[in-house]
Structure 1
Amino acid sequence: MATLTHQESATAEQLVVTDGARKIFFTIILAGVVLLVVGLLTAIFHWGEAHEVVGAVGHEEGSPIWLKRLLVSLWHSNIFFLGVSAVGTVFMAINYVAYAGWSVIVKRITEAFSVWIAPGAAIMLVIFLVGRHDIFHWTHDRINTKGSPNYDAIIAAKSGFLNLPFYLIRMVSYLVIWWAFSWKLRKLSLEEDLNGGTQYFHKSVTTAALFLVLYAVTSSMSAWDWVMSVDVHWFSTMFGWYVFASWWVSGIAGITLTAIFLKQNGYLRFMNANHFHDLGKLMFGFSIFWCYVWFSQFMLIWYANLPEEAVYFNQRLGGFNGQYTGLFFFNIVINFVFPFLGLMTRDAKRQMIILKIVCIAILAGHWSDFYLMLMPGTLKGENGFLIEIGVAAIFLGAFLLLMTRRLSEASLIPVNHPFIDESVHHTT
């Protein structure tokens, strides 16, 4: 009986992406395009605007607001999906260095998530080169030149770090590191499937350990560069952890949601309630961790009440005629209160329907979290949602197309992984 179980546990599963699934992905993209077009037309012709937004700043370089919203929205959604994509590799690397066996059953999902790193990197470079003046105030011409009408002493003091050549070098470095290690771990995994043996596992552990050290540095620095430097006069020493927490819990939610859909469509037959329980515990725990970082950052700034620090939350909590106040409180509810209450019990973490609802809420909630990080510093009071949701839907459909294609390129079960039996027989 034990022999039969072992043989069954090593059986490959091949995902077939049906035409119906592809139609759904293309429908998501099409819906995004429709929303984007409607949003652009609304912004261009000012439909539904009763009055001019007080305090709005959006034309420093002469860009029309619809174009600025489009560029910021592309930057926003690409950062979100790029971070979630990289988390697939981070999750896999952590489990390698921890010699964890339970997660092997979802390993191919984490490998597939990294598929967005390469296209996301290309999109990011293009957006920055084309629209940097509309996203980053520190890129404006002669802003570091004394005597210039654009001169800003605070930005000039940061020019050793925030300058175009060094910024591009850092950006390319982060993206190349993330892509290279994702590619290497995927390559070792596929070779392990073909050839067997433990040498690929040990090489993967070494590769994963090095990647985690580099990611610990580059993830924080990328948060400073891509998100925090939007509010160039403001800074927080906790911001790198804050952005990572948002990416991390979103990535776990995405991995869990993918596993649920695969399970419900007849795949991952060895995945059981115990695996979902552990994924649920991770979402539950790191939703609390995200809130801990959020509250720590907010509480220290609120208590000190220094103008140069408080401006960040003043903009988001009552600023620009209250444009972001509702979203500010919604952010706390959907990213902490809802996952906390939804996943509090043991049974909830073992029910796919509850996990599915919480996963979708977390993904939507942390996309809105990045919205709240980026929009006040770029669009001020001229923000909206049609363009932004349309762009997000296009990115989602494209991500699903690429991710499922990669999932279909290899067995969903890494049959020769040394811990495959441990994962198949995992209990909690």
Structure 2
Amino acid sequence: MAHDVQHYNLDQKFDFTGALKKTVFTVLGIGAVLLVIGIIMSMFGGHHEGAAEAEGHAFHWYERLYANLWINNVYFTGIAIVGVFFFAIQYAAQAGWSTAILRVMLSMGSWLPIAAVLLIATFFVANHSLFHWTHSYLFDTTSPEYDSIIDGKGAFFYWPMEKGTFPVFYIVRMFLFFGFWVFFFKKFQQFTYNEDQIGGTATWYKLRSWSAYFLVFFAVSSSIAAWDWVMSIDTHWFSTLFGWYVFSSWFVSGLAVITLLTIFLKGLGYLEMVNENHVHDLGKFVFGFTIFWTYLWFSQFLLIYYANIPEESVYFVERLTSDIYGPYIFVNLAINFVLPFLLLMTRDSKRHGVFLKLVCTLIVVGHWVDFFLMVQPGTLGHNGGVGLMEVGMFLVYGASFIFVVLTALAKGNLIPKNHPMLEESYHHHI
């Protein structure tokens, strides 16, 4: 290896200091307090009782808690898997520029085992409150509640069991996706740490092949996960590009988190190899995929709008005409498209930490709003909204996620010192 890279400390490790842990736990504590206050207010607030009874069932405070758990589980699972996905893309594309920040991407996958437990546990506890299709009477032809449309889709959840019993097929998919995601993540982790020990290019070739397998599996699993975990909430409705749409929302949020972590580590004096050119590239990714998300949002909306088929348009009509969710549709578009588009348009803004910190923080919050709009209307109807419970839960999940990621970063070297393209990353200039 040329002497250029040698004057960097390639054995640098991230030190997760007590002060930093304290900050993370403070945010977690604030989130927990807001969450508890939000739950108490929901228990004693008699939240929109009339509206709930008009819909045919009394509303319970824990339904809102479950919906919030589901939003955050799905959202943070997506951010974690995108870290692994983006890592795999660097190897599959044989990219050199990103070598210095590979470990930042991979560390996000550390949340996956926790995400698996949280999401599966939430499903087992809260499935009747979240998913209309889990009620057995919908599949009973003699019942007045029988629903022929949901019955037609029943096999997708219940095969090979009888419809309306135990959703074996659905649960097997959940375990399968998480199982493989965690398996690939652990495999990547093992390879990249082996590379630090043995050097050479053998590990890089192995990582490239494994990344290709992962990307194929991810392409299928991320789409089906979007149908299972989000689209099946509104069981009657479907959209042919929904898998892409959820992926794009996850991807932009994941890129924003990678960018924030990189700038954060750089600010603490780590990753000296990362220069403004690397930051510029991350900024371009965030900018580009913000537009990609908007394109998919608009494509989905426009097709449904001009075809105007009742069973499709009901999804948007419910949201746009609602006093609770209507305004958030415009908030969603403003935070996730208008502001990033205007703020990151120039070359300079993509090279400056201040702009990127602002935009990426907006995006992380904005795409949470996107998932909020996908989950709450179908689960809570008129009883939803953004209150202390939502803010508290988001802070608890966000702080926990950051704690897990930073703990993972502190365990090994920050820079893959024997990566064959380290030199290229060092000389990266655009």
Could you say whether these structures have the same fold, taking a TM-score greater than 0.5 normalized by the shorter chain as the test? Answer: yes
Matches within 5 A, 1:75-224: 75-163=70-158, 164-224=167-227
Equivalent residue number for residue 226 of structure 1? 229
The answer on 1:424 being equivalent to 2:426 is yes
Matches within 5 A, 1:14-413: 14-46=13-45, 52=49, 54=51, 60=57, 65-163=60-158, 164-319=167-322, 322-385=323-386, 386-413=388-415
Contact preservation (8 Å) 2:2, 2:423? no
Contact preservation (8 Å) 1:224, 1:240? yes
- Partner of 1:384: helix, strand, or coil? coil
1:54 deviates by 3.4
- Partner of 2:304: helix, strand, or coil? helix
Work out the CA distance in 2 between the residues paired with 1:91 and 1:57.
46
TM-score when normalising by structure 1: 0.96
1:28 deviates by 1.2
Q: Which runs of 4+ in 1 moved over 3 A?
A: 51-60
Work out the CA distance in 2 between the residues paired with 1:394 and 1:347.
34
Give CA deviations for 1:86-130 in whole Å, capped at 9, x if unaligned.
Answer: 001100111101100011111011110001110100111111011
Distance change in 2, residues 1:131/1:102 (3 Å): same
Unaligned runs of 5+ in 2: 159-166
1:141 deviates by 2.4
Work out the CA distance in 2 between the residues paired with 1:126 and 1:116.
15
Number of aligned residue pairs: 421
TM-score when normalising by structure 2: 0.95
Work out the CA distance in 2 between the residues paired with 1:146 and 1:357.
54
Contact preservation (8 Å) 1:58, 1:382? no
Contact preservation (8 Å) 2:8, 2:272? no
Distance change in 2, residues 1:274/1:53 (3 Å): farther
2:103 aligned partner, one-letter code: R
1:206 aligned partner, one-letter code: S
1:182 deviates by 0.9
1:150 deviates by 2.9
The CA RMSD measured in Å over matched residues stands at 1.5
Distance change in 2, residues 1:318/1:53 (3 Å): farther
Contact preservation (8 Å) 1:105, 1:271? yes
Distance change in 2, residues 1:201/1:57 (3 Å): farther
1:9 deviates by 4.5
Work out the CA distance in 2 between the residues paired with 1:30 and 1:148.
47
1:323 deviates by 1.1
Work out the CA distance in 1 between the residues paired with 2:53 and 2:414.
50
1:5 deviates by 1.4
Work out the CA distance in 1 between the residues paired with 2:293 and 2:320.
19
Distance change in 2, residues 1:58/1:78 (3 Å): farther
Distance change in 2, residues 1:56/1:297 (3 Å): farther
Work out the CA distance in 2 between the residues paired with 1:280 and 1:53.
47
Contact preservation (8 Å) 1:280, 1:355? yes
Give CA deviations for 1:138-175 in whole Å, capped at 9, x if unaligned.
Answer: 00122211112331111100011022100001111111
Unaligned runs of 5+ in 1: none
Contact preservation (8 Å) 2:96, 2:422? yes
1:242 deviates by 0.3
Work out the CA distance in 2 between the residues paired with 1:44 and 1:384.
15
2:71 aligned partner, one-letter code: H
- Partner of 1:12: helix, strand, or coil? coil
Give CA deviations for 1:277-316 in whole Å, capped at 9, x if unaligned.
Answer: 0000000000000000000000010001111000000111
2:200 aligned partner, one-letter code: G
1:10 deviates by 6.5
1:291 aligned partner, one-letter code: T
